[in-house]
Each structure stands twice: as C-alpha cells, then as structure tokens.
Amino acid sequence: MTTADHKMRFGGILENPLVSKIQRAILDGGRVRGLKNGLKPLEYDKVLDIGCGLGECSAVNKGKYIGIDNSFPRIAYAAKHYSNHTFFVGDAISIPVLDKTFDLALLIDTSHHLTDDQFKTVLLGLQRISRRYIVVSDPVIYPGQNFLSQFFYKLDRGACFRTEQQSKAVFDAVPGLRYRSTFSYRTFPGLYIHQAFVLELIS
C-alpha cells in the first residue's frame, strides 16, 4: 500500500470487489469503452496493466494481457471473472516483470493513488518493461468542475488527483519518454473526465 492510498477509508468497504464494481458502474459509466476506443490506433499485442483492479480493462487486449494489483481481493475477483487472462498480486513501485517483455504498459485510474515521486518511480518501472508505449489514464481535475464532481473525487481512496498539466510535468521529469498524443472521455453521469496520455519509449 502506498502512502497516498487511503485503502481503509470507510472501514475498507471500497475494498470489496462487488461494492467497487457497483460504485464504478453508477458513478463512472462507460470508462472502459472510452479507453478502448482511444487505444484502437495503437499497434500492440502484449499488454501489462499495473493497478488492474477487478480486471475490467482487460477488454482492451488485442492478444496477451496480464494484470497486476496490490489488492488481493481484487486480483482474486479478476482471476475468477476473466480467467482467460493472467493476474497476480504485486506493487507498482517494484514491478516483478522482465525488461522489455510487453508492447504496451497501462496505468489506468491508478496514478491518483501515487505521490509525484511514486508516480515517477512507477513510470521508470513501466519504461523498463515496455517496448513501445506507456498509456497513463486518470480522472483529471478540470476547469469548471462542479461541486458534486469535486465531492466524489474527494471520497476516493486515492489522494493525488492532478490537472492535465500536473500529470505532464511528471512525464517531463522522466527521461526516455516521448509524449505522443492524448485523448479524453467523459463518463456517465458526467462527474468524471478521464485524460489519457500516450507516451512512446525513446530507444
């Protein structure tokens, strides 16, 4: 568990996979579809998804997909419900995977659980294991964000939501990455705007 992550908020109830799934479906609907559409133009086969949670983002796979998360109940849920993919418990800070073994490394809705220093460390790890791309996507703090939206961001277990510029500042501090493109998508019922950054590895 990272220092930025409030896992035991609300007595740990959000750790329950079913509670988490229902909460996401009601407050953040269509996010996997938004991500999948944005990733379509990228050419990849092997995907490593760090902070994979319940495994829902395995839907973006075009071949081989492996998910890692530091929550045992989530990994158990993912392994049961997406049994055609591989999942294991591990920490984003120290990724237990060989160098350059994946085409695409994903960090989806997870960077808000990481301080800037932790985020940089994780990006260096993703850079080590990915051959082509890193995609980081997270809900952003945005201009004109209404009270209800701010309220739900505050309820989150992660405490490090960023603006688009704040995320870019972290990418700029990591050598060996080239910013390629960005895409964003608003999810139902309109409380969350997700910003996805496509980063390329400079060899």
Binding site for ligand SAM (CB under 6 A): 2, 5, 51-54, 56-57, 69-71, 74, 91-93, 108-110, 113
Closest by Cα among 97, 136, 140, 144 to 120: 136
Q: Which is nearer to ligand SAM, 46 or 51 (CB)?
A: 51
For residues 189 and 143, is the Cβ–Cβ distance under 8 A? no
As a whole number of angstroms, the distance between CA 111 and CA 164 comes to 12
Q: Cβ of residue 15: shortest distance to ligand SAM, in angstroms? A: 8
Q: Cβ of residue 202: shortest distance to ligand SAM, in angstroms? A: 25
Q: Cβ of residue 53: shortest distance to ligand SAM, in angstroms? A: 3
Q: Which is nearer to ligand SAM, 103 or 118 (CB)?
A: 118
Reported as type and span, the H/E element at residue 31 is: helix 31-39
Q: Which is nearer to ligand SAM, 104 or 203 (CB)?
A: 104
Sheet of strand 102-108: strand arrangement: 86-89, 64-69, 46-50, 102-108, 130-139, 193-201, 177-186
Q: Which is nearer to ligand SAM, 193 or 203 (CB)?
A: 193
Q: Name the token pair of 25.
A: 């479906």
The vertex-164 CA angle with 154 and 105, nearest 5°, equals 95
Q: Cβ of residue 203: shortest distance to ligand SAM, in angstroms? A: 27
Q: Which is nearer to ligand SAM, 56 or 103 (CB)?
A: 56
Q: Cβ of residue 139: shortest distance to ligand SAM, in angstroms? A: 9
